[in-house]
Amino acid sequence: MERLYKAKNRLGLVFFPAFDWAISPTHPEREERLLYTQDQILEEGLKDIEGIEEYRAYLAPDNEVERVHICVPDVRSRVTEAHLVAAGGAIVAGRKVLEGEVDKAFALVRPPGHHAFRIVHGARGFCTINNEAIMIEHLRRHYKIKKVAIVDTDCHHGDGTQDIYWHDKDTLYISIHQDGRTLYPGTGFLEEFGGPNAYGYNLNLPLPPETGEEGFLYALENFVLPVLEDFKPDLIVNSAGQDNHYSDPITNMRFSAQGYARLNDRLNPHIAVLEGGYSIEGALPYVNVGIILALAGLDYSFVREPDYSPEKVSQSPRITDYIARLCEETLQAWQKREELRARHFQGKDRVTRRRRIYYDTEGLMEYQQETTLICEECAGLSWIDSHTDRGSHILAIFIPRDACARCQKEGHALFEQTETTFYRDGIYLQDRVEDVLLKK
């Protein structure tokens, strides 16, 4: 068949709809999520465009997961093959870009991943393992990239991605989401600014419910793009959640397919990975087509939902003012991050935090106590005492990718010297310098 158009940017697509995987038949995170999108892509003839190629996902091996997560008791007890293929799909998308086969890539995979934390006792917010983080750490291991920016445009705060990169100032995490006072998971505020060795590299912009097209694009131009300009990432990854759409059944925002396409166009990410989005007929097919066209550098001005009207994406002047102030305050905090870091952590050698993490799918509660060494040379050694209300108890030790000799040595000493009697499900050591996960 003769190809109709030529993409300005060569674009790789990876599809994995996971037709045999669902939390339950009526759950919003279910098989049909990508079915209508695939139909729409065929209908628009996107696969016939020269420069758009489709690639197959593969099953990510356990060690790719273990580079990011400590699954309790192990990877295979927590994940299904669908999770591993979704993560593998993201990896394939990333590799095609880094190998120069394509300019950009979009992994349209499910189940999603941005609510999955470093430690995994089960599923949270429809997520078990973090597809973007597994991809990024794979790319860091195999290609020369250092600084990565993740811009998460899902309607929910990506608390899992925040947790994974909390101590890593080479990974800037920016999340734009519906205010956590009004939506799951209830987090994602300015005060969540990063760990002591990466203070300021975790940026949350909680937008009020009923934020319209104007608000999202304002936040992009006046907050996200200036921060990226400063940070100068080697790679930009978009966690492309689509549940800000006005028709989404589980959120309260007023964004459109056209808006998502414009956002993607301006953000200009190397790789997009699908996250949430539960308006499976009314939004996903149009948003995905818009994003694909924007990534390929093609005209997306004709992309419109059948039920679109300007009122559905408008916002009140009160919200416009609020977002302007929020962007200014957050941008200022970013610019003053060194000063704020000194103010908070000067004179301390470690920080400890206690958290409760709820796994809504299983109804399980985890209690964490995390200690992190303050280090001027690396992301710092961390360890987490984690127990659940189901009686599981572990110690997890994290030696970061860029660990200095002292942090690496102290991590191994802690692993060797801690008695296992207290931790009934074991002691784990994730040594990112050696790229291994040890357990005793």
Smallest gap from residue 380 Cβ to Zn ion (A): 5
- Is 168 near Zn ion (CB under 5 A)? no
How would you classify the pairing of strands 148-152 and 350-359?
unpaired
Smallest gap from residue 398 Cβ to Zn ion (A): 12
The residue from 159, 163, 243, 402 that contacts Zn ion (CB under 5 A) is 243
Cα–Cα dist 13/93, whole Å: 7
Cα–Cα dist 404/242, whole Å: 39
- Give the range of 216-224, 302-310, 329-337, 374-382 binding Zn ion by CB under 5 A: 374-382
Cα–Cα dist 163/188, whole Å: 11
Element (DSSP H or E) covering residue 145: none
Tell me which DSSP letter residue 255 carries: B
Instruction: Spot the catalytic one: 69, 83, 115, 270.
Output: 115
Q: Which two tokens stand for residue 17?
A: 């709809």
- Give the range of 71-79, 369-377, 386-394, 429-437 binding Zn ion by CB under 5 A: 369-377
Nearest 5 degrees, angle CA 162-CA 163-CA 164?
A: 95
Alpha helices (H) in 270-316, listed in sequence order: 284-296
Residues 261-320 that bind Zn ion (CB under 5 A): 276
Nearer to Zn ion, 94 or 196 (CB): 196
Cα–Cα dist 274/87, whole Å: 11
Cα–Cα dist 195/172, whole Å: 12
- Is 195 near Zn ion (CB under 5 A)? no
- Is 207 near Zn ion (CB under 5 A)? no
Which one-letter amino acid corresponds to residue 183? L
Q: 299, 293 in Cβ contact below 8 A?
A: yes
Nearer to Zn ion, 74 or 210 (CB): 210
- Is 410 near Zn ion (CB under 5 A)? no
- Is 241 near Zn ion (CB under 5 A)? yes
- Give the range of 77-85, 235-243, 284-292, 410-418 binding Zn ion by CB under 5 A: 235-243
Cα–Cα dist 254/209, whole Å: 8
Q: Which two tokens stand for residue 225?
A: 């793009």
Q: 118, 397 in Cβ contact below 8 A?
A: no
The residue from 32, 54, 221, 377 that contacts Zn ion (CB under 5 A) is 377
- Is 154 near Zn ion (CB under 5 A)? yes
Smallest gap from residue 156 Cβ to Zn ion (A): 4
Smallest gap from residue 74 Cβ to Zn ion (A): 28
- Is 180 near Zn ion (CB under 5 A)? no
CB atoms within 10 A of CB 394: 21
Q: Is 393 considered catalytic here? A: no
Nearer to Zn ion, 148 or 375 (CB): 375
- Is 22 near Zn ion (CB under 5 A)? no
Burial of 371 (0-12, 13-18, 19+ CB in 10 A): middle
The residue from 82, 407, 427, 437 that contacts Zn ion (CB under 5 A) is 407
Burial of 293 (0-12, 13-18, 19+ CB in 10 A): buried
- Is 378 near Zn ion (CB under 5 A)? yes
Nearer to Zn ion, 139 or 205 (CB): 205
SS3 assignment, position 225? helix
Cα–Cα dist 238/153, whole Å: 7
- Is 249 near Zn ion (CB under 5 A)? no
Nearer to Zn ion, 244 or 388 (CB): 244
Smallest gap from residue 197 Cβ to Zn ion (A): 8
- Give the range of 42-50, 140-148, 182-190, 243-251 binding Zn ion by CB under 5 A: 243-251
Burial of 326 (0-12, 13-18, 19+ CB in 10 A): buried
Cα–Cα dist 16/14, whole Å: 7
Smallest gap from residue 287 Cβ to Zn ion (A): 13
Binding flags for Zn ion, 24-63, as an x/- string (CB under 5 A): ----------------------------------------
Cα–Cα dist 118/120, whole Å: 6
SS3 assignment, position 22? coil
Smallest gap from residue 112 Cβ to Zn ion (A): 7
- Give the range of 232-240, 289-297, 312-320, 377-385 binding Zn ion by CB under 5 A: 377-385
- Is 375 near Zn ion (CB under 5 A)? yes
Nearer to Zn ion, 14 or 375 (CB): 375
- Is 156 near Zn ion (CB under 5 A)? yes
SS3 assignment, position 173? strand
Smallest gap from residue 275 Cβ to Zn ion (A): 6
Catalytic residues: 115
Residues that bind Zn ion (CB under 5 A): 154-156, 241, 243, 276, 375, 377-378, 404, 407
